[in-house]
């Protein structure tokens, strides 16, 4: 009887140990703490009782609910529309459309100092950046996104023909004007797949399809 009770007690101890949460050592390339407590969000406005984007980016404190505007009229004027943003260590990166210039990439300091232009889709040889695909590596050094590239074909009496090539690209933020790298580019004549990139905690890039 005593042996059976001892066996039962030992079994319960082992079961409890197996149910402890699994943990892994902190990866040195993981984001700093403000990325866990802060989030870049797109602002909203109510029109006739319905919510619509207001074209502004905000820094949201997840603990308090307080918001700080990241895209101010003093930096961009009145006629601009922010379509995406991601948070790094001490700043955010925003994708801004303004006037006739689409998909401009800006660094947005969290301390309220002036936004800094980095590059835009046209300078990178791209036609359109898919805002929802914008993602940042854990160490804040590399931006990844899906985009479309317009390629011209031979001209005919109908005018010049164009095709669209979709791909996933990375951008080294230490040299954004000259570091665009194609991870994958589709044949424009194949059935298109929209790839969405994401980084794991170790900084490895992965692709999902939709």
Task: Supply the pLDDT for residue 136.
Answer: 96
| Whole-structure pTM value | 0.76
Task: Supply the pLDDT for residue 32.
Answer: 39
Backbone φ, ψ for residue 75 (5° rounding): -95, -35
Give the domain ranges of the chain: 30-120, 122-210
Q: Which residue has the higher pLDDT, 176 or 4?
A: 176
Task: Supply the pLDDT for residue 101.
Answer: 86
Q: Around 96, how many Cα atoms within 13 Å sit in the side-chain half-sphere?
A: 27
Identify which of 181, 177, 173 has the alpha carbon closest to the alpha carbon of residue 86: 173
Alpha-helical regions (H) of the chain: 2-18, 34-37, 73-76
Task: Supply the pLDDT for residue 113.
Answer: 93
Average of per-residue pLDDT values in the chain:
80
Who contacts 203 (Cβ-Cβ below 8 Å, separation ≥6)?
A: 29, 137, 138, 139
Confidence check: pLDDT of 156 > 60: no
């Amino acid at each position: 009887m005593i042996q059976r009770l001892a066996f039962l007690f030992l079994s319960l101890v082992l079961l409890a140990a197996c149910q402890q949460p699994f943990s892994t050592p902190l990866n040195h390339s993981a984001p700093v703490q403000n990325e866990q407590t802060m989030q870049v969000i797109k602002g909203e406005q109510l029109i006739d009782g319905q919510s619509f984007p207001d074209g502004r980016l905000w820094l949201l404190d997840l603990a308090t609910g307080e918001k700080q505007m990241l895209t101010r009229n003093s930096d961009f004027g009145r006629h601009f529309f922010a379509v995406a943003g991601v948070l790094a260590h001490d700043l955010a990166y925003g994708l801004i459309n303004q006037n006739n210039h689409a998909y401009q990439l800006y660094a947005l300091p969290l301390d309220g100092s002036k936004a800094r232009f980095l590059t835009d889709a046209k300078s990178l040889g791209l036609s359109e950046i898919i805002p929802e695909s914008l993602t940042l590596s854990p160490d804040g050094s590399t931006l990844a996104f899906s985009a479309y590239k317009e390629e011209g074909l031979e001209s005919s009496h109908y005018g010049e023909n164009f095709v669209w090539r979709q791909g996933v690209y990375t951008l080294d933020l230490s040299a954004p004007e000259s570091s665009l790298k194609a991870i994958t580019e589709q044949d424009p004549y194949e059935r298109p797949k929209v790839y969405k990139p994401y980084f794991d905690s170790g900084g490895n890039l992965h692709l999902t399809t939709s």
